[in-house]
Structure 1
């Protein structure tokens, strides 16, 4: 489109500066008739001018006529009309004709200042002229396109390389850099992106190092506090004091749990390597449910018969599922359900269809052989505007900001990061039970 616009601009610029190329070609094609008029008829004395024009009319196939000025003025406009009034020869290319005033002062013969010479049926081939114009613009376009094509190809490859670096960096490969040569067209942009990536990697490394160091350093005073409270409990005989010691021990246990969660977050943010192994999914999920702390609410299991084996980091995957189950148990009124199925398998087609139908807006079924694990409860649920934020670290809904539910707002964030490391997704929506439904989708 840019080249087309540029071609039109060039065309009109040339027309404005040097005249219409079609007019020039047509003038060359009609040069014989113009020569007769200017070099034979015009050179005659005033009393012989009309006689010579009649002789030309007799021997030429072109029809020469004397016409009133008014009829010609009605056919011309713009610069053509101005040229005609100055006494210049004006070509009418579409009609294969030309016009010219006989005489501005009437010196040719009586009344000649009110007449014009009209020549019709000139040997002008517009098609040939247009072909020449087309050839001209094709040549111009090729001359422009060839260097632009080479430049665009190099520019596009540089942009693709830059896009690949951005994808790798966004996927967690913080060492990804463009490292382009200074002669590349996008080198200034690539250099700034590399500087930005260096800065981000440095900041994240400092943050992880600080979090890791602080978490480890806190463990020592926590251990001393636990030891001191054990000694204090042995020496305390007052029931009130013993109750306060119990509360202090609960606070220390909560602080210790927070440190462990922070260390887990630091490892996940650092992109820890997965210890993948083959293991049976159904027994592993049952063991995960059995390892939960005792609760008044039981967990309903709905595991497909063809669930088969999984190839994943078993400890990390079960930790994510366990975090979702503990979260569901906190808010459930009386029902928690764990469902697992393998998508697209013939043996479990019926169960897979029901699971996908229950999903609603959570997403597509996924690839054949993918595993979908759903944790549902009948609690108060999660408002739609909060569903994306619940996976942020330390974020908790207002109704959970009390000690009765506990937690630090890290469980769902850890689960989300653990599933992302496996290349899967974790989403939340409304459950048919009435509460929240968390859906894990793992690739085949």
Structure 2
């Protein structure tokens, strides 16, 4: 956001600079060079002396008065041949000299003027030009004055622009904070602005959008929670009925079918429990955090795993230290990653942890088939599974990784999937230390 206002400031400064040059060239074309006008004002005394004293002399006294001026003035007056003067001037100035006008040269602090057009002052005066040098012209000072004038104009423009931009910048910063809080799961975050604020209309629309999103999410969570709870009652009844039926069944085929129905019912019950856990994590606003020994916590997460033929290796140093965590949630997240590894590993699983500068990393590796790069973000979506067959060989509902990521996010951390050195998948939990 700072970049927006920095670009706006640069644009304003470039516009003012461009306007300055446009003004200069426009005035030069319409009214003459402003610098020459400044130089003419600075040399006004010498020009006045020439026009009102020297030129007013009778024809036989013109040179005498010019010499008098030479003796009392620091300006040097020379008479040069007309061809030399014309050769020293450019086309436009040369034409002005031929007309008998005073031609100023601010760069050399001098001016040129023909003595006479008709030769009336003295013999051959129409072939000579008066060249005045060392005039009291200071273009540098004039440029400083002009620069100061434009700086004052620029400041006068930039101050109200800065005040106006500051009000917009503060409003946009407030909206950015609200967006960050809302995106971080704080669904009650709203922008509180006065109707006179510049960003008030935008804030109102963002608040209406946030209200609508919060209502939709709350309705979704409520529906998921209610449906999950409502499913538990018929599931419990079916379990009780199947147990009674199994006790009375004498046909082996019927008993086998009842066992299959019980397995399906247990799977449905597990799905309901997973959905309830997802609902609780979605509605969780804070953690029940307490200082925990991270090495001990990670070892505990391996003890609740179901039996597996795959070897589970642990590389957990005792130097991980303590951290404020919700023990139940973090054990659940690591356990879900380990159970996922048990499903897909070929023979080996590795749980490791390390403490870096400002972070704590927990890594689960397996030597299974791995996860394609384009699927590594999708696997964290609820109900998304790489194995579309949904058979009992892999099991699960596609909720374990989604629950793990939500639990890690509540701790302010991140969970990502990578390629494992073992050849399969690697899941990395990064927690702020």
Instruction: Decide whether aligned partners of structure 1 residues 441 and 403 sit closer, same or farther in structure 2, where only a CA change above 3 A counts.
Output: same
Per the alignment, residue 420 of structure 2 pairs with 431
Contact 2:315 2:350 in 1 (8 A): yes
Taking the aligned partners of 1:68 and 1:131, their CA distance within structure 2 comes to 36
Matched, 1:62 2:53: no
- Report the Cα distance in structure 2 between the residues aligned to 1:260 and 1:89, rounded to whole angstroms: 101
Matching residue within 328, 333, 336 for 1:323: 336
Q: Which residue of 1 aligns with 2:90?
A: 76
Distance 2:38 2:243 in 1: 109
- Partners of 1:233 and 1:27 lie apart in 2 by 118
Tell me, in whole angstroms, the C-alpha distance in 2 between the residues paired with 1:54 and 1:393: 108
Match of 2:383 in 1: 394
- Relative to structure 1, is the Cα distance of residues 62 and 264 closer, same or farther in structure 2, using a 3 angstrom cutoff? same
1:407 equivalent to 2:359? Answer no
CA 1:225–1:140 in structure 2 vs 1: closer, same or farther (change >3 Å)? same
User: Per the alignment, in what secondary structure is the counterpart of residue 107 of structure 2?
Assistant: coil
Return the offset for 1:122.
2.0
Within a 5 Å distance, the mapping from 1:144-183 to structure 2 comes to 144-183=157-196
Partner of 1:361: none
Could you list the runs of 5+ residues in structure 2 that have no partner in the other structure?
Answer: 1-9
CA deviations over 1:296-338 (Å, ceiling 9, x no partner):
2242233223345443111111110110010000011111122
* Aligned partner of 1:372 among 361, 373, 377: 361
Structure 1 residue 271 displacement after superposition: 2.8
2:314 paired with 1:292 = no
Q: Structure 2 CA distance, aligned partners of 1:182 and 1:28?
A: 55
Q: Aligned in 2, Cα 1:395/1:51: closer, same or farther, shift over 3 Å?
A: farther
**Normalized against structure 1, the TM-score is what?**
0.81
TM-score normalised to structure 2 length: 0.82
Report SS of the residue matched to 2:352: strand
Per-residue deviation, 1:163: 2.5
Where 2:347 maps in the other structure, the secondary structure is coil
Cα distance, 1:114 vs structure 2: 8.3
Output the CA distance in 1 between the equivalents of 2:161 and 2:253.
86
The answer to whether the Cα contact below 8 Å between 1:27 and 1:91 also exists between their aligned partners in 2 is yes
> 2:16 maps to what in 1?
6
Q: Are the structure 2 counterparts of residues 290 and 37 from structure 1 closer, same or farther at C-alpha, using a change threshold of 3 Å?
A: same
Map of 2:142 onto structure 1 = 129
C-alpha distance in 1, partners of 2:375/2:399? Answer: 15
Q: Distance in 2 between matches of 1:101 and 1:398?
A: 101
* RMSD between aligned residues: 3.3
| Correspondence for 2:288 | 275
